[in-house]
Structure 1
Amino acid sequence: MKKTMHFLSLSACAVALATPAQAASGDRAVAVDVAAGRLDSALLQVAQQTGVQLVFTDPAIGTKTAPRLAGRFTTGGALDRLLANSGYTWRYTGPNRIRVIAQPAAAALRPAALVQAAPPASDEGRVVPSNEQVEAALAADDAGTAPAAADDIVVVGSQIRGAKTTAALPVTVVDERQIANTGAVTGDELFRSIPQLGDVTFNSSYLPNSSNAARGDVGSVNLRNLGVGNTLVLLNGRRVVNHPTSRADENLVPVLTYNTNAIPVFGLERLEVLRDGAAAIYGSDAVAGVVNTVLRTDYDGVQIEGQTGYPEGTSLTESNLNLLLGKNLGGGRGNVTLFASYATRSGLRSSEQDYTASDDTRPLFVGTRFEGVSALDGRASITPWGSFQTVGNVQVRQNGTALTNASGQFHIQPSTNTGCQTNATTGLKNGLCIDDGTNTAAADRNLRFDPRVAYDTYIQPKVERINLFLNGHYDLTDGLELFGEAGYYSATTDSIQSSSGTLSSLPIVIPATNYYNPFGPTVLNGAANPNRLPGINAPAAGLPVTLSSYNIADAGPNLVHVKNDQWRALAGLRWEWLGFRWESAALYSEASVRDTSDGISATALQRQLGLSTPDAYNPFNGSDLANPSGADTTLSNAAALNAIRIKSTRFSKSTLALADLKASRADLLTLPGGNLGIAFGAEVRRETQLDDRDPRVDGTITFTDSVTGRQLGSDLVGTSPSPDTSGRRTVAAAFVELAVPVVGPDMNVPLMRSLEVQLAGRFEHYSDVGSVAKPKVAAAWEVVRGLRLRGSYAEGFKAPNLEQINARVVTRSNTRTDWIRCEAQLRTGAINSFANCAQSFAIQAQRAGNPDLKPETSNTWSAGVVLEPRFLEGSLGRVTFTADYWHVQQKGIVGIFGEGNALIADYLARVSGSTNPNVIRAAPTADDIALFAGSGIAPVGRVDYVRDQYVNLLPQEAAGVDLSATWELPDFGAGRFSFAANAAYLDKFFLQPSPPIQELIDARAAGTINAGTNIADAGSLVRQNGKPRWRVTGSANWRYEKFELGAFTQYTGDVEDTGLIDSAGVPWLIASQMTYNLYGQITVGNKREGRYRMRIGVRNLTDAKPPLSSNGFLGSLYTPYGRYWYANLRASF
């Protein structure tokens, strides 16, 4: 079956390069030049050169050879010569459709009425049968002997069927054998194996502790690294619905992607990657290019496949069960094919790898220049060792000793830590004490919380995935074909994530009556309060205390369950009329995500905090004395914990409805250089998006503090308020494309064997952002046979997504460094470099959507060369080299200034004597004043929030080179060898800084602000984070009778980790990596009795671990495990 699908893909390419116009290509002699070699390759060349739709599916064709063929032939004349003595013949199945089929021993399958002797090389008189003749001939055949005709397939990049201008397009095609080389079983793994497809920012290793970002079984598409959303994804040539949950990109705006894990890898016939701007042909989002996933069709039989695999040194296991069913209909008039896939994967726990075992990665950097720097300690400062502040900022003293600072701040810590203000006699019991101030001081770093240690959280979730896809087609008449498809994807993931922690922007006050409040009332429940500290100056009624920073770790980890569903239905017709091939289809697709996780209700928590009995919730009991950063072993009583736990759900849905009509003809006019081709069409689509947040987050259920009366927009502890969002748009589009043969081989122009030009234009009108029209021109100049130059220029556009336009003010909390505080500590000598600054906090950003956003625009050009030295084919086989330089400039990219940049701007403003009005701060506390003392900088308080809005920003420019090579050797008796290589070189990636960011860059260069600041998204981004300069893959295959070996190697260049910068401003270098895959297989049996294949393979043969980064590993480039073994069994009938 492996070989069968290989030949199916070859025949699909032949169909793709053929014209469905009229029978002119069959009854007119054309120049044919086919090298001697494999018969399948020769047939493919005939299809390319004659424009006929040629289908062949028998894998044995690849074992046959064909003679050299040169001269002027009709299609039939060429086929007669190539198939002579091969055991195969051909027959028409339509005016421009031909099948190659096995020649029976007794008689030809082609009816005698259609069989003619091989004509001379100048054959001009071949009569191509009419539809009626073909129908009559087919009726006389044995209906069960012929394979079904393949659907017409358009090579991505052109809408003209059979257009030779596809030679001008840089397209990477990944077929089934190449997919097998990668060992990929998910769409995410497959896309990671293609060098041009960039880093994967949406991935299953990204598991935030909040549903504010996409998580679960998800992968993203990012061609050229231009950003998620700049690549158009097609399924069988038509758009797909976006994954409905967004994630903030490098510009901190919500972006949407197609979920690559919804792609059934088992069902893939091939993956086509157009590495060129194509908005003029396909519309919005095709800025970087187009990825077309082509699924299997025209299968006749039954195939069952099972696979299991695991990475060494982990408990992770992965299993897949696949089923493929197909049936030809009506004696070859149609086919229906169904494939189903079921996959399961166990979760990967943090403890299973040293680079994921802890959020504190300092031990991994011992012996480097970053040894011991505090920036590598990623443990949470929001910890079960709570930080508190008395309401009214009352300073509490005990027998004259201050237990809090002047602002009433204090925290709980082990009595073994320095700074205790209480003792075991008059203070807290069980080895605890009170220290004044917050717990963020360097001396209290052991109090930071490490959920990976505490809960052994998941690095990758458990997954259960189902893929179903049905496609079919049927010739209602000789000129009218009905086709359709239906697909369903469903995946559930389960993971263990960190427990919930408070946000400074959503404070909760502990009533004075809390049973465990050390500053509680003197009398509680009619008796002396056993937990009020003696000798304190608090009033007899006690003091309420604000829970400033606290992780509710004794409630346990949050269990996260994500359910993804996606379905698609399409129906259409193809027909011929007025010499054109017409096609029209209607499509509806829908994707939904239900993200459910454990949480804590702020209202319920405060209710339990207000109890005056021992069943009150106790936030003053610290955590494990033996392991302060680990699991909380000092649990509150079970009744209190059960009372505060809730489930939180976010539901997101996106839909796509589309109807189109398009026509193409490859021979509209006959020009001196050949046939002029044309395609035109129109499309209407409706897109919607819904983001329905949990009632405790969207403002339906709010939290009103029972002590202060303050109302907060979110009742979910640790989650900022986020209103529901919805949006919809209607898009109407029209396009036209021309394939212009300027020079043809028959014109005998010196040094110009042919010159083909593609001209295209598209107009789109959006109901929400207006109209846009963009052109494209591409050309292919064949200097001599085997040497082709190609180039293109295209203008593109990307409409802002519905969330960017329609989102109301949303609040997000991210850990950011307050650089002005670092500067104060540096000046006073508290730290010796910014790398040791611990002034990072959860900073709240208020971001607003913008209905005035305009589409992003782009200009793309490319130039390349294709070299196919035909003189080598007889001795060394077929060799192809390609090299393409590309350049993209984008304007009006949607972004925000960002709270990180806003804090740097505030840093610059304050050292210059002013402030940033978008950074809203609280009044400085006594601790704040003490921190700034002696620095020469006016004291500042903590950041309350930062204001921001989505806007169209300045340009981004990127450029690079794509290189590829393929070599298929002749069969010298030891089997067939083939080799391939693909490389992507990133030469330039420059984000033009906006004036405010440029001001920050200039200030850093001048020394006004420290070189250790991390200014986001400015200047050259080559070799930063997920943008390596080089990405290279190579593959090799050997096939001999029933045996096959495949190998694959992948190189990823080094990148700078901008999250880890030394005092000189030099970042940590994440090293490059080279990995190797290998598989071997054996196939026995035959289709009549059953064909069986067994494959054993390994990914990452040398067990290379992902290169070290500040977070342990970089999930957008690497997977969190080493060597991976798998075994695969397949049976075909």
Structure 2
Amino acid sequence: MAILVPGVASAQTTVQTPDQDAVQVDEIVVVGSRIRRDNYNAPSPTQVVTREEATLQGFASTTEALQSTAVTGGTSQINNAYGGYVTDGGPGANTIGLRGMGPSRTLVLLNGRRVSPAGSRGSVGSADLNVLPTAMIDRVEVLRDGASSVYGSDAVAGVVNIQTRQGFEGLTLEGQVNAPTEANGNGGSTRLSVVAGAKGDRWRAAGSVERYERDELTLRDREFTRCQTDGYIDRATGGSLDFVDPITGKPKCYPITDTGSNGVTINTIAAGVEGPLNARGQRTFVGVSGQGAAGSVGSTFNRWRPNSAVDTGVVGFEGVGGGANDVNVRDTFEDRMLNESLISPVEITTIYGEAAYQLNALGNAEIYGEFLLNNRKSSQTGYRQLALDYAKGSPLIPDNLAFSTAMTDQGLNKGADVGVRAFIGFGNDHSTQEQRFNRNVVGIKGDFLIPEWRYDLSASYSKSRSEYTSEQFLTDRLIESLDVVETAPGQFQCAQLASNPGCVAAPALSSQVIGGQLPQAWVDYVFRPVKGVTEYEEKIVSLGLDGPLFELPAGRVMGFFGLEWRDAQIDDTPGLDSQNDNTYNFSSSAITRGSDSVWEAFAEVEAPILRDMPFAHDLTLNGSFRYTDYDSYGDDTTYKIGLVYSPVEMLTLRGTYGTSYRAPALFEQFVGATTGFLSNTNDRCNEYGRPNVNPNRVANCAAEGLAPDHYNLSSVRVVTLGGAEAGLEAETSTNMTVGAVLQPPMPSGWGDLAFAVDYYEIEVKNGVSQYGAGNILTRCYDSDPADFAADVGFCALVSRDPTNSQLTVQNGYVNLATDIVKGLDYTVRYRNDVGPGSVLFNLALTQYTEISNKLFDEDPLEDYKGQINNPEFTGTADVSYAWDQWRVRYGVEWIQGTDSYDYLGVSPSDADPSTAMYDFEVGDYWLHNASVQYTTGGWTATAGVRNIFNEEPPTISSGYYNRVGNAPLYSGYDYLGRTAFINLTKSF
């Protein structure tokens, strides 16, 4: 990444573009302050990423550049690899969060003004990077410091300001292709754009049109995702402790175990008989005798797989579950699972324009405007299991299974007992999103009444509208299709056909149906698209005045004073079937609707205290203050104080301390009460008596009165509530940064060297967050038995129904007691003339010294630094050489290895990597990139390779962490593999 001066923003910036003379920029405002300066060193560390550097690195979009390790410091970001997960902004949205504090605490600006949230579903609260006009961007400024008093409440961890190519003249055509050499050639991207601009004596106008497309990458396309295994290790022998698939003799692909395994029961039925009442007076269902499948144990089963060769016991079926059998004896994987999206595809069209006109009136005023229109189409391919219940006595059940009573009605059989439940591998399903984002800005700026003062009055209106569709089984149609009468041998029709015209009878239970071969007419009837619409609107009016206040011996005291009003509204209306809980084994969603507005008054003052004195080359004080008044959460104040001290010209010391106040986002306040369901396999007590289960889990499940072979037949109920209903409060935080910049004078011919180091601390109190239902369940049942019995920590969010053992997890938005991030940034820049050209070396290193949080005041503070997905060190380095019309570059990205043994270990053996059955350690991760650029006659060609050595992501064991295949789900790793890229630009 290009850093103009490491950690120091300079107003006297020379911008060099191909085939153009250097342009001197006399007076600018760099992110971090609203005061115009002629010459200054900023009190806050600021990183600048130029479009030229992004092109040399092979980034095809601003999104890719912003989510890179160099900008994010190695913290995980939401990108297109999260298409199968529930994320804020919905599938396809890409966001950025600095310092690991999440996107809701990072403010994104375009030309110094807010970029409004965009996305789908109810949890829209952050800017979607997909809306940015990549073709028109000149540079990106990244402020790695809290700035709520300068920019508003959500600038807690930092600010990202995207600056367009204002004043652009001419016509530029650009095209870029990124083509993976691995992954069967899939996952590539293309971008085509046109940028045009012109200006006259009193006017200027410029704009761009661009098209970006990224192809789908599937699980089939990468080796590390084709066969996901548990990865459990016998440290004594070095062998595997995974369940061995009797069919292949190898560890089972996509088994059913803990978090991170994606297998589902398929090609199987549940069949048994009613047993005696248990100690709690509940009905029980037990297995029956039969022939076991290869790998099974015992002779009594309640799960069966078709096998036409079986002529005893349950004729036509072999036993694959029940008793002491491992759940993975049954089928859990089929080839269509590999069609799932690893990287979801996207198509983006963006139109951007900006213009300005000098009025020669109202203080030599200029009126200006910006227009942004963006359309995103994204989609994801998933895989669905269908658990289909056939009622006891149904004519759809064959005679050899008529004996069975598997369970009480689970909701499909109008109160009748379930005779047979079929676990069907249904196949692939698809979700789509189409988002339209529009942003309009108008303003006027000019000289104020006081000499050398300027005013800037602007208003903006942004609207995002997203239509999202997912394919769902409709519960009411399943119910009616399963209620049938036989009209002729082997012929069935819906019993209530008169009141449900168009109803299609469910297929009779057979080996083909169990195997996923379903009549298309029936599928078309019960499996339907469910469409929802999300709209988000934001209006902003802002007024700023800036200029000199008075003179001090060291210079002028500059000030900025402003007012801002913001009003935001969210309206997410899920499809009626989703609202009415009519999507079978899927989440229901209520309407999310709410609004909030805020008035803010703010001021910033910068005073030069000393200048050009002995041991005081420069001493400048900067202070800012903001008063905030939200309709929803009342008022508060924030402030920030910064100091820049240069005892001598070569050394700059700087520091800031500030406070922040963030009202919860609209979705955090108003998300509609949503009840979702996770698969029954998420019950952490399922078959907890099997070998190699966490001993804490064994003790806690036993404490609930569950048998070691317990297997929950009920889905896990997950309840999400908006914070307004749950007593959510605004969060407050403090932010401190202390640093030094060294720019020593070098002997002639030795070049220019600069070094910066900055230490930062961010502490958030009452932070708004969710932990996730799966995470809550795992950490509750694996917690200390004393904590489990006391119902504290995560266990306070979990309850179990004593009558049917159904789990309910409260996963609403809560105020975390403490969230702390501490660390250091190191930056080095060296430039020198060598031979016919010049060499430039950049090094950026981020070190986290603490990444900790706790959910409740009484909980211990957990430090996640150095654990998986939270590396202590990350870094980037690049060296480039430019001469004549050529420029070559070589870059390296580094993520330090991590391990989670100390945190996840529940016994001395688990905490010791030499004895633990889990592999929760990953080594250092390196990505190498190289490129060459040639410019002539208005043409610029850039070609290169990302991930030269085709470094694959590391692998870990199943459990605790979400995985992509066998690799951690983490944005810092490259899932594409080696990728060649070429960029062609023609300027007229």
Provide the TM-score with structure 2 as the length reference: 0.83
Query: 1:603-1002, aligned counterparts within 5 Å?
Result: 603-613=476-486, 614=490, 616-618=505-507, 620-621=509-510, 633-665=515-547, 667-699=548-580, 714-745=581-612, 748=613, 750-814=614-678, 818=683, 843-851=716-724, 852-872=727-747, 874-895=748-769, 899=773, 900-901=775-776, 919-923=798-802, 942-947=805-810, 949-970=812-833, 972-992=834-854, 994-995=856-857, 997-998=859-860
| 1:124-143 alpha-carbon deviations (Å, 9 max, x no partner) | xxxxxxxxxxxxxxxxxxxx
Distance 1:811 1:910, change over 3 A: farther
Q: Which has the higher mean CA deviation after the structures are superposed, 153-162 or 590-599?
A: 590-599
Equivalent in the alignment of 1:275: 144
Q: Is the 8 A contact 2:61 2:134 kept in 1?
A: yes
Distance apart, 1:322 and its partner CA? 3.1
Query: 1:328-347, aligned counterparts within 5 Å?
Result: 328-331=198-201, 333-347=202-216
Distance apart, 1:1045 and its partner CA? 0.9
| 1:670-710 alpha-carbon deviations (Å, 9 max, x no partner) | 210111100011000111112211111112xxxxxxxxxxx
Distance 1:687 1:382, change over 3 A: farther
Q: Which amino acid aligns with 2:517?
A: L
Distance apart, 1:895 and its partner CA? 3.8
Equivalent in the alignment of 1:353: 222
Q: Which has the higher mean CA deviation after the structures are superposed, 635-644 or 946-955?
A: 946-955
Distance apart, 1:778 and its partner CA? 0.3
Q: Is the 8 A contact 2:233 2:240 kept in 1?
A: no
| 1:43-79 alpha-carbon deviations (Å, 9 max, x no partner) | 748xxxxxxxxx99785545xxxxxxxxxxxxxxxxx
Distance apart, 1:844 and its partner CA? 1.8
Distance 1:835 1:305, change over 3 A: farther
Equivalent in the alignment of 1:702: none
Equivalent in the alignment of 2:104: 229
| 1:898-934 alpha-carbon deviations (Å, 9 max, x no partner) | 655467657766998777786443446xxxxxxxxxx
Equivalent in the alignment of 2:34: 159
5+ residue gaps, structure 2:
244-256, 408-412, 493-504, 702-707, 912-917, 958-962
| 1:439-472 alpha-carbon deviations (Å, 9 max, x no partner) | xx64340425336654521211222111221112
CA distance in 2, matches of 1:797, 1:946: 29
Distance apart, 1:818 and its partner CA? 4.8
Q: Is the 8 A contact 1:723 1:808 kept in 2?
A: yes
Residue of structure 1 aligned with 2:891, choices 1045, 1048, 1071: 1048
CA distance in 2, matches of 1:798, 1:352: 42
CA distance in 2, matches of 1:388, 1:473: 74
Q: Which amino acid aligns with 1:1106?
A: P
Distance 1:672 1:543, change over 3 A: closer
Distance 1:1132 1:839, change over 3 A: farther
Provide the TM-score with structure 1 as the length reference: 0.73
Distance 1:548 1:719, change over 3 A: farther
1:192 is the counterpart of 2:44:
no
Equivalent in the alignment of 1:464: 347
CA distance in 2, matches of 1:537, 1:1109: 37
Q: Is the 8 A contact 1:220 1:257 kept in 2?
A: yes
CA distance in 1, matches of 2:394, 2:647: 86
1:407 is the counterpart of 2:285:
yes
Query: 1:129-208, aligned counterparts within 5 Å?
Result: 153-162=28-37, 164=39, 166-197=41-72, 198-208=74-84
Distance apart, 1:876 and its partner CA? 2.2
Distance 1:215 1:685, change over 3 A: closer
Q: Which amino acid aligns with 1:921?
A: R
Residue of structure 2 aligned with 1:1077, choices 892, 906, 929: 929
Q: Is the 8 A contact 1:280 1:774 kept in 2?
A: yes
CA distance in 1, matches of 2:809, 2:405: 38
CA distance in 2, matches of 1:166, 1:493: 43
| 1:230-282 alpha-carbon deviations (Å, 9 max, x no partner) | 111111101111134479xxxxxx67322123223332211111111100111
Structure ID, larger Rg: 1
Q: Is the 8 A contact 1:192 1:199 kept in 2?
A: no
CA distance in 2, matches of 1:1100, 1:1037: 17
| 1:5-32 alpha-carbon deviations (Å, 9 max, x no partner) | x9xx999x99x966xxxxxxxxxxxxxx
CA distance in 2, matches of 1:691, 1:413: 52
Equivalent in the alignment of 2:941: 1094
Equivalent in the alignment of 2:197: 327
Distance apart, 1:182 and its partner CA? 2.4
Q: Is the 8 A contact 2:271 2:406 kept in 1?
A: no
Q: Is the 8 A contact 1:178 1:1035 kept in 2?
A: no
5+ residue gaps, structure 1:
1-5, 19-42, 46-54, 63-98, 101-149, 248-253, 397-403, 503-507, 519-529, 625-631, 700-713, 925-940, 999-1017, 1086-1090
Equivalent in the alignment of 2:247: none
Paired residues in the alignment total: 902
Distance apart, 1:802 and its partner CA? 1.2
Distance apart, 1:858 and its partner CA? 0.8
Equivalent in the alignment of 2:397: 517
CA distance in 1, matches of 2:605, 2:786: 60
CA distance in 2, matches of 1:772, 1:231: 19
Residue of structure 1 aligned with 2:862, choices 1019, 1023, 1033: 1019
Q: Is the 8 A contact 1:387 1:410 kept in 2?
A: no
Query: 1:48-127, aligned counterparts within 5 Å?
Result: 61=21
Report the RMSD for the aligned CA atoms in angstroms.
4.1
Equivalent in the alignment of 1:583: 456
CA distance in 1, matches of 2:924, 2:825: 19
Distance apart, 1:1053 and its partner CA? 1.5
1:480 is the counterpart of 2:359:
no
CA distance in 1, matches of 2:128, 2:975: 20
Distance 1:255 1:1073, change over 3 A: farther
CA distance in 2, matches of 1:839, 1:756: 68
CA distance in 2, matches of 1:740, 1:959: 29
CA distance in 2, matches of 1:1044, 1:435: 63
Distance apart, 1:607 and its partner CA? 1.8
Equivalent residue of 1:553, what SS? strand
Distance apart, 1:662 and its partner CA? 0.1
Q: Which amino acid aligns with 2:343?
A: Q
CA distance in 1, matches of 2:222, 2:520: 33
1:553 is the counterpart of 2:425:
yes
Q: Which amino acid aligns with 1:611?
A: V
More strand by share: 2
Q: Is the 8 A contact 2:220 2:338 kept in 1?
A: no
CA distance in 1, matches of 2:605, 2:414: 83
Q: Is the 8 A contact 1:229 1:256 kept in 2?
A: yes
Q: Is the 8 A contact 2:56 2:932 kept in 1?
A: no
Distance 1:814 1:158, change over 3 A: same
Q: Is the 8 A contact 2:780 2:788 kept in 1?
A: no
CA distance in 2, matches of 1:983, 1:218: 28
Distance apart, 1:343 and its partner CA? 1.6
Q: Which amino acid aligns with 1:1128?
A: N
CA distance in 2, matches of 1:805, 1:888: 24
| 1:378-413 alpha-carbon deviations (Å, 9 max, x no partner) | 1434434243688xx5689xxxxxxx9942678999
